[in-house]
Every structure is written in C-alpha cells, then in structure tokens.
Amino acid sequence: MGKFGKIARRTFLIGSAAIAGGVAFGYFKYKSPVANPLLGDLKPGQAALTPYVLIDGTGVTLITPRMDMGQGVYSLQAMLIAEELDIGLDQVRVDPGMPSPAYYNTALSHEAVPFDPRDTSMMAETMRGVADAAMKFMGMQMTGGSTTTPDGYEKLRIAGAVARETLKAAAAKRTGVAVADLKTEGGAVVLPDGTRLDYTTLAPDAAGVEPVTEVTLREPEAWRLIGKDVRRIDIVAKSTGTQVYSIDLEPEGVVHAAVRLNPRRSGAPASFDASAAEAMRGVEKVLPVTGGLAVLADNTWRAFQAADAITVEWPAAAYPAEMQGHWDLLSAGFTKDNVDATPREAGDVAAALVRAGEAVVNAEYRAPYLAHAPMEPLAMTVLVGEGRADVWAAAQAPRFAQANVAKVLGLPVEAVHVHVQMAGGSFGHRLEDDAIRVAAEIANQVKGRPVKLTLKREEDMATDYPRQIAMARAEGAVADGKVVAFDLGIAMPSVIASQMGRQGMNIPGPDSQITAGAGDQPFAIPDYRVTGFRVPGLAPVSSWRSVGASTNGFFHDSFLDELIHAAGADPLTERIRLMDDPEGVKVLETVGEMCGWGASLPKGTGRGIGFCRSFGVPVAEVIEVRQTEAGIRIEKIWIAAGVGRVIDPQNFANLVAGGAIFGLSHAMSSEITYADGMVEQPNFDAYEGMRMPQAPVVEVKAVEGLGRVRGIGEPPVPPAAAALANAIFAATGQRIRELPLSKSVDFA
Amino acid sequence: MQFKVNGTVHEADVEEDMPLLWVLRDVIGLKGTKYGCGVAACGACTVMVNGEAVRSCQTLAGDLAGAEITTIEGLGTPGTLHAIQAAWVEHQVAQCGYCQSGQMMQAASLLAVTPKPTDAEIDEAMEGNLCRCGTYPRIRAAIHAAAASIQQAG
C-alpha cells in the first residue's frame, strides 16, 4: 500500500504526477498552489482540514462538490469520504459547497481528449495531462460525463484519510498518547483506555497541526460502507415531500419572475405589447432582458399568466425554420470538407466493399432532436446587493454560472456566491446557464430584493438546447457467416462547439462526441471505418445524457445487428467473436447468461441485443418484446455493465435500470421538431415518453474487477434504442432505422 | 376564500381561477406538491381532494369550498412515515425525487379504493404520473409492499 502515500501529494499539490508535457494552456498556473476555498469563510473555532471536510463544534460537514440531480452522488461522495474518516453517514451533514477551482474535475478532462478512456499509452496519458492542465486553468467544476465516481474514488477517500490522520495527530498532541496507539471510530478518536475524543471537540486543535498528507488508504476488505447497500441520505426527504429543490426556495421578500424568451434564439423581440400584462393583478412590472422580457409579480402563477399575456414578435431563426431543412443539411453533410475525424480506420474498407460487390449491405439511420425536460423546470433565485450577489441554483457547472453572473453584474467573480441546490432531474439541462444569467439581469434591476425566476414548462421546452439531431450512413459486408467489413459515417452538429461557444470558448480540434459510442467501440472487424462529419447551420444543441453516444450507440449497434443477420450468425455469439476487450466479452457473456440467450421463444416474441461502450463502461442490454394486438410490448430487459467496482450496489442497480428506461422511453416515442423556427412540443402531452403500463421488468448485473472505477449515469442509455430496434426486428422481421420507433410501429 | 388542507383551515385572498397547486405552494407555503407541467400531463402536482387524487394544477381555487385537501405533508412526515412513504424509503424508489410526491398521493388514492391492487390496476391508476428518471419498476414494487403492510396492520 506504499503507493498511496504518493497519491496524497499527487492529488493535493495537484499535478506532481501529471505528465509534464507542459506546453499549452498555462501550465505555470497549473503548477501554482490552489487556495483552499473553505478557509476564507471559516469562523473562529472551525478548522478546515481539506477542501472536502469541514468540522466545527456543531458537527462534521462533508463537501460534495458534484451536483446531485437524482443520481445519488451526494450519498456516494459522502460514502467515499466517510469510509476513511470513520464516521457514519447519519453523523454528517452534506453540503455541495461553494464553487471553487480546487474542485476541478480531473476525470471529465480525460473524456475531453480524443482517446479511448481505457488507452493508457504514453500518448494518451500525455494528452490527458495537458487536458488536466486546461481543465484546471478553466477551473471546471462540472457534474457530467459520468465522472463523479472516477473523479472522486481516490480523491474523496484521501480527503477522508487526511482528515482522520490529522485529527489523530491533534489528539496525540493533546493527550501525549502516540498516534500509533490511537484508533478512530464513529466520529471520534479513541484512546487506548477507551476515552473518546469527538472530532468536533478536536477541531480547534486540528487547525493548529500540520495536515498529515502521507496516508494509507484501506484495503477493500476493511470497508464498512463502500460496496454495501447504504440508505441514500436524501431518501427520506424525497419520500416525504420535504426535499427542497431550487423551485422551492422562497427567501424573505422574494419577488417572483417569469419570462418570455426568444424561441428562435434570434435576439431581442421585433416588437411586443406588454400593456395587458402590466395591468394584471399582482404584476409589479415588465422588464427587458437579453433575448426577451421578464415579468415581476407577487406569486409564480400571476407571473406566468402575465408573461403569457404579452404579445411578441420574434425575428427569424438562424437555423432552418422547418424540419425538412434540418434533414436536408444532414443529408448533404457527408462531404470531405465536413470530415471532423476518422477515429477508426482498420484494414481497407473501400477495397473490401468493392470485393463484396452486389452483396454490400447499405443502411441509413436517423435520430431526432430531444429535449432534456427534467421533471423540475428551471428555477433559480438571485439576490444582488452592494458589491455582492448570491445565486441559488441547481447548476451542473457552477463556476461557469458564477463567471457569467459576475459578467452580467459587472462584479468580480469572487463577489458572486453560487449556492448549488439539489436538482429535480437534469440529464444535462443544467449545464447551461442562460436562465441564471437572465435571473441575474432581473435581480440587477431590483437590487436588494431576491428574485426567483421559474420557467413555465412551455418556456423551458421552448428554450431548451436539445440533444443533437443526427444521421448515419453505413455500408458493410459479410463472408462465411461473419461480419468482415463495416463503414459508418455519422453527420451531426458539434455539441461541444455549440455548448462551449455559449461559454465564450473555442475548443480546437475534432469534437470526440461526433463519433463517441461508434468510433470507439471495442470490436475487431478486419475492415472497419468510422467517420464523423461536423454539419454547420443546425439548431444550437447541448449535452444530453450520454451526449454523442445517445445517437451513435443506436447507429453503430443497429448496423452491426443488420450485418450479423445478413451473415446468418447469432447476434450474441458474433458480437463476442468480434469483441476485442475482455471486459466487453464478460459483459456480453453475462447478459447472455442472465436472459438464457438462445432459449426458444413463442411466436411473435423476439429478443434483441444492444451493446455500447461509452464513458469507458461497456454495457450490454437484451430486450424481449412481444407483438400484441395493441402493438409492441417491451416485456423485459436484462443489463450487464462493466464498472470496475460498484460503490453503492442498490443505487447502482437503480441508476442502471433508470438509464435504460430513459433510453427506451425516448427511443419509443420522443422527438423535438421545429416549425416556423420554434419547438413544436410545448409540454409533456406532446413530448411523450414511457409511462407505468409500458415499463418492463428490469434485471441488472455489474461486471467488476476488469476495468477502472467508472460512473454509471450515462452508459446504460446508448445501448437501449439499438436493443429495442433489434428486438423488434427479431419479433417481426421489420428493421426500423429511424427514431423514435413510434413513427414505424405502435407500442402497447 | 378558505382552504382546508391537512385538517387546517387557511384563509387566502386569491382569484377563483387560481390553480390549487399555486395556492398550496405560493400562498399557503406547502412546497411538497410540485409543479411539473401545469396542464395535467405529468401528475407531479397530485393531491387528494375528499380522498380522491386530482391534479392540483387543473383544480381551481373557486371549486374547493368545503373540500378536504390532503397533500404529501398530510400523508406522513419524516418522523411518522405513512405506510406508502415507508415502502418508498424501503425500496429506495426516488432518484431525483421530484415526481414522487405526486406518485405517492396517486398510490394512496389507489390503495384507499383498491387495497390489494393487481399490476394491471396499478398500471391504470399510475399511468398519468410521469417519471423521467425511470423509477417505475420500484414504484410498482413499493405499491405492492405498502398494500401488504397496510393489510397486515389492518
């Protein structure tokens, strides 16, 4: 365990282990020490041991800087810290903390470089080092990319261990007992005679001793919390209506705001008439904001009603007004000039396809724009005072929100305090901060009064930056019962360019998301190529749960399934034969065992497999569907996922099941379309998804021990659509190549 | 106007057409009932009026004279969980949790009329309650568990 002594130094001096390529992105700044964000706010009697643990006379607070949007990461982060700190989850408070550059997300930058996340070659590690530096430079504290677990797995346990050892040092100093004779248990240092010194009483002493950073992490056999079913710390609140979300905050003197924002994203209104709105009961005033208008009123409903009463004309959109225009752009987008990257190029596909001649298999696939539409619409509160502003919001990237609010208000960044809230779902929605900026603009016009902006559902849907639309064209060949050639081109807008552009950033190089979930799949096909085409001119888009892989997982695995059927091979056996990764093989074998693959099924029933490795996690899903008089019924889904190690088994299974259902829900019946430059689905009655009667039985299994620790928020999504389409093919013989599948079949 | 919520009478000066949802949240200050869609398409705002589940976003203030309104806060509290809430905790149903107040109120209304529901009866009763996190399988399991525990206590 000696190596863990080094980890503390690597993590907290941040960077001594990073590969020092050292050229780009301000490496010098990367090397400079990072101020502890908690020291500034410390009160007398408090001691901040590390940026993740805060102890005072009233208790122990664990700082969990990654936002919880339902994935249970407050619990998970607290577990990792508490495991080493020797304290129960019922003995701590959990606080998302203030945004700070010290919480930069290392694992996220690993996903930002165009390398297979499992590739540990020199080149890949070097690039990750540079990306780390860039991430640090930008101070990116971001919840996304299923990174909380891999990012925190060591970092948070070390934080707990450093805190524990420092408390022991403080106890040794106070009592004269040697550190080696001290134990820790249940939030206290225990002396040999059984005397317990609570961490809370040791906190002032601990502030006076040098932090102990040479620590040894516990062996898995000694874990009390990790790998055990632990009751989520938010579960009672969420089962009693007492969980507070952004939308529930109501500070003293709050004024309620609603907005009408440009649904075509084309700037200020061409004209508007707010006279009717201004005359309505409870309305204080109507204000201009960037790209629209805001109403201030004495309650949410009155603000909504008044916003609806404004008549407004908007300029034309910069993207095509109708859907046909969007598809035309994609269809014409497979050009040499648009090639963004060719991340997979094995053998000679062109020659293989010529050899196959007439036997070449062709297919074209489509996937629509989708809304994030979390159950809690966007809502936030902003209070602008003299030289200070406070923001209460469920922000996935609070540092961006902080910087943007500072810019809006003309304040220094450190004068803006972002209080991250629990989110009622997100799926990537809360990575964007347009609404927070607008709330700040409103609050700046009524200084000294807290403004709570709530987006009406229709407003939230109209101004959401959707999941990318995408199209794929594929050609392939089979021989001797095997898949031998596979050529896939994918055309889509660049999500990263669109999203980071709104943050004023230009990310150079290819956008790995254009081919993510397709160009990085662990298959060894002799002649194999995947090309990404970056298509300009489409609607602005944003990261949606699993990002590029959400469309590409469907394209890649649907076409693989088509080829396997063309070869007359077994869908499971042939995928295993082609698989080039032991973890992927195990995942496929596991899902096969779980469902009893190969068993004979009644007529009208079929099973399909979907496989995708995204965010480093190979996931295989088998879906069983049955044809009924009312349409296709999804009976059951079996899922196996390779995650290295499961931290919280119950939450793992729930998150995997939920992710697959999320994927199926959209694959079945969801789409966002534009007409006259505006979204045509204003609410849940038009943006359909899975409901209780359609929910299948779900069985989940983890494959552990074959890879690094990974996050599971996103990887279950990409295989779902492919598995469902492949199952429908197995049951009916109908091959569907366009999402949502409800365009082609009915669902029971 | 008067509103009897969880046994307590509240006085509120609101429009006849103000939805109960906003009377509860913004006027009375009970935030457990959630706003999801405003058009009765998601069920997040479900409460019980005279024992029956309704969408509070489409229930107007002017129609509630003399009605007994029950919200999630009236079902049980963290200290004294209702059997349904206990089952929700036990099965760790919630992920983001935002739709769950409505889910539990709908389930409470179901179990009041149908103490031992079949899967088909659960499907029918719960179809209007949307969950974007995909917790449906656990909601189903928790409803069965709550039904059993209520019967046992019976």
Residue by residue, DSSP assigns B34-100 as: --S-SSSSS-TTEEEETTEEEEGGGSBGGG-TT-EEE-HHHH--SSS--HHHHHHHHTT--SS-TTH
CA distance A299 to chain B (A): 6
Contacting A residues, span 282-301, partner chain B, CB-CB under 8 Å: 299-301
What average pLDDT does the structure give for chain B?
A: 97
User: Poorest-confidence range of A92-101, A547-556, B3-12?
Assistant: A92-101
Q: State residue A70's pLDDT score.
A: 85
| Residue A203 binned pLDDT confidence (cut-offs 50, 70, 90) | confident
- Res. A589: pLDDT tops 60: yes
- List CB contacts (< 8 A) between A301 and chain B: 18-19, 21-22, 26
Cα(A593)–Cα(A720) distance, rounded to whole angstroms? 19
Residues whose CB is less than 8 angstroms from the CB of residue A255 and which lie 6 or more positions away in sequence, other chains included = A284, A296, A297, A298, A446, A449, A450, A451, A452
Q: How many alpha carbons lie under 13 Å from residue A400 in its C-beta half-sphere?
A: 23
- Res. B119: pLDDT tops 70: yes
| Residue located via tokens 């609010």 | A405
How distant is the alpha carbon of residue B35 from its chain centre?
Answer: 12
> Comparing C-alpha atoms, which of A126, A107, A138, A109 is closest to residue A20?
A126
- Res. A145: pLDDT tops 80: no
- Range A19-31 average pLDDT: 19
- List CB contacts (< 8 A) between B138 and chain A: 654
Q: Could B37 and A457 be called an inter-chain contact, meaning their C-beta atoms sit closer than 8 Å?
A: yes
- List CB contacts (< 8 A) between B98 and chain A: 70, 245, 374-376, 424-425
- Range A271-296 average pLDDT: 98
- Range A121-134 average pLDDT: 44
Nearest CB to A374; choose among B71, B132, B135: B132
Q: Could B98 and A376 be called an inter-chain contact, meaning their C-beta atoms sit closer than 8 Å?
A: yes
> Comparing C-alpha atoms, which of A687, A715, A149, A718 is closest to residue A372?
A687
Q: Could B96 and A375 be called an inter-chain contact, meaning their C-beta atoms sit closer than 8 Å?
A: yes
- Chain A residue with minimum CA distance to B38: A457
User: Poorest-confidence range of A141-150, A695-704, B141-150?
Assistant: A141-150
Mutate: best of B95, B118, B126, partner A, most A CBs <10 A: B95
User: Poorest-confidence range of A337-351, A503-517, A613-627, B32-46?
Assistant: A503-517
DSSP summary character for residue A447: T
Rg over CA atoms, chain B = 15
Winning range, highest mean pLDDT, from A136-150, A193-207, A292-306, A388-402: A292-306
The counts of H helices and E strands in chain A are 21, 27
- List CB contacts (< 8 A) between B71 and chain A: 241
- Is the CB of A421 inside 8 Å of chain B's CB atoms? no
Mutate: best of B5, B16, B22, B35, partner A, most A CBs <10 A: B35
| Residue A94 binned pLDDT confidence (cut-offs 50, 70, 90) | confident
Mutate: best of B30, B71, B110, B136, partner A, most A CBs <10 A: B136
| CA dihedral of residues A718, A721, A725, A731 (deg, nearest 10) | 100
What average pLDDT does the structure give for chain A?
A: 88
- Residue A62's DSSP bridge partners are A53, A94
pLDDT tens digit string along A149-182? 877 888 888 888 888 998 999 999 999 999 999 9
How distant is the alpha carbon of residue A204 from its chain centre?
Answer: 38
- Range A454-461 average pLDDT: 98
- Is the CB of A308 inside 8 Å of chain B's CB atoms? no
- Res. A18: pLDDT tops 70: no
- Res. A237: pLDDT tops 60: yes
- Res. A131: pLDDT tops 60: no
- Range B80-85 average pLDDT: 98
- Is the CB of A424 inside 8 Å of chain B's CB atoms? yes
**Residues A146 and A105 sit within 8 Å (Cβ to Cβ):** no
- Res. A2: pLDDT tops 70: no
pLDDT tens digit string along A211-226? 787 888 999 999 999 9
Task: Report the percent of chain B where pLDDT is more than 70.
Answer: 100
Q: Could A697 and B137 be called an inter-chain contact, meaning their C-beta atoms sit closer than 8 Å?
A: yes
Q: State residue A399's pLDDT score.
A: 86
- Res. A486: pLDDT tops 60: yes
Q: State residue A25's pLDDT score.
A: 15
Mutate: best of A248, A692, A694, A700, partner B, most B CBs <10 A: A692
Q: Could A690 and B136 be called an inter-chain contact, meaning their C-beta atoms sit closer than 8 Å?
A: yes
> Comparing C-alpha atoms, which of A492, A215, A196 is closest to residue A370?
A492
Q: State residue A15's pLDDT score.
A: 22
| Residue A630 binned pLDDT confidence (cut-offs 50, 70, 90) | very high
Nearest CB to B92; choose among A232, A689, A695: A232
CA distance A682 to chain B (A): 10
- Range A353-381 average pLDDT: 97
- Chain A residue with minimum CA distance to B31: A248
- Res. A16: pLDDT tops 80: no
User: pLDDT: is A92 or B64 the higher one?
Assistant: B64
Q: State residue A668's pLDDT score.
A: 98
Nearest CB to A692; choose among B21, B39, B139: B139
Q: State residue A44's pLDDT score.
A: 53
User: pLDDT: is A285 or A127 the higher one?
Assistant: A285
CA distance B2 to chain A (A): 18
Classify burial at A117, counting beta carbons within 10 Å of its beta carbon; exposed 0-12, middle 13-18, buried 19 or more. Answer: buried
Q: Hey, what domains does chain B have and what are their CATH numbers? A: 2-75 (3.10.20.30), 83-153 (1.10.150.120)
- List CB contacts (< 8 A) between A659 and chain B: 134
| Complex ipTM value | 0.98
- Is the CB of A659 inside 8 Å of chain B's CB atoms? yes
Q: Could A72 and B95 be called an inter-chain contact, meaning their C-beta atoms sit closer than 8 Å?
A: yes
Winning range, highest mean pLDDT, from A3-17, A74-88, A277-291: A277-291
User: pLDDT: is A345 or A100 the higher one?
Assistant: A345
Six-digit token string for A599: 């068993």
CA distance A254 to chain B (A): 11
CA distance B154 to chain A (A): 22
**Residues A446 and A409 sit within 8 Å (Cβ to Cβ):** no
| Residue A37 binned pLDDT confidence (cut-offs 50, 70, 90) | low
Cα(A299)–Cα(A296) distance, rounded to whole angstroms? 9
Helix crossing, B119-126 with B100-113: angle to 10°?
130
Task: Report the percent of chain B where pLDDT is more than 90.
Answer: 99
Q: State residue A62's pLDDT score.
A: 79
pLDDT tens digit string along A379-394? 999 999 999 999 999 9
| Residue A123 binned pLDDT confidence (cut-offs 50, 70, 90) | very low
- Range A222-244 average pLDDT: 94
Q: State residue A162's pLDDT score.
A: 83
Q: Could A423 and B96 be called an inter-chain contact, meaning their C-beta atoms sit closer than 8 Å?
A: yes
Nearest CB to A281; choose among B15, B104, B127: B15
Classify burial at A20, counting beta carbons within 10 Å of its beta carbon; exposed 0-12, middle 13-18, buried 19 or more. Answer: middle
Question: Could you tell me the CA-to-CA distances from B141 to A61, A337, B88, B136, B149 in Å, in that order?
Answer: 34, 54, 9, 9, 12
Q: Hey, what domains does chain A have and what are their CATH numbers? A: 3-238 (3.30.365.10), 246-315+378-454 (3.30.365.10), 333-370+466-743 (3.30.365.10)
Q: Could B26 and A301 be called an inter-chain contact, meaning their C-beta atoms sit closer than 8 Å?
A: yes
Six-digit token string for A205: 């002493």
With b meaning 16 or more CB within 10 Å and e meaning fewer, what string describes A182-193? bebeebbbbbee
- Range B47-55 average pLDDT: 97
User: Poorest-confidence range of A66-80, A276-290, A394-408, A449-463?
Assistant: A66-80
Task: Report the percent of chain A where pLDDT is more than 90.
Answer: 73
Question: Could you tell me the CA-to-CA distances from A489 to A336, A338, A492, A730 in Å, in that order?
Answer: 11, 11, 10, 25
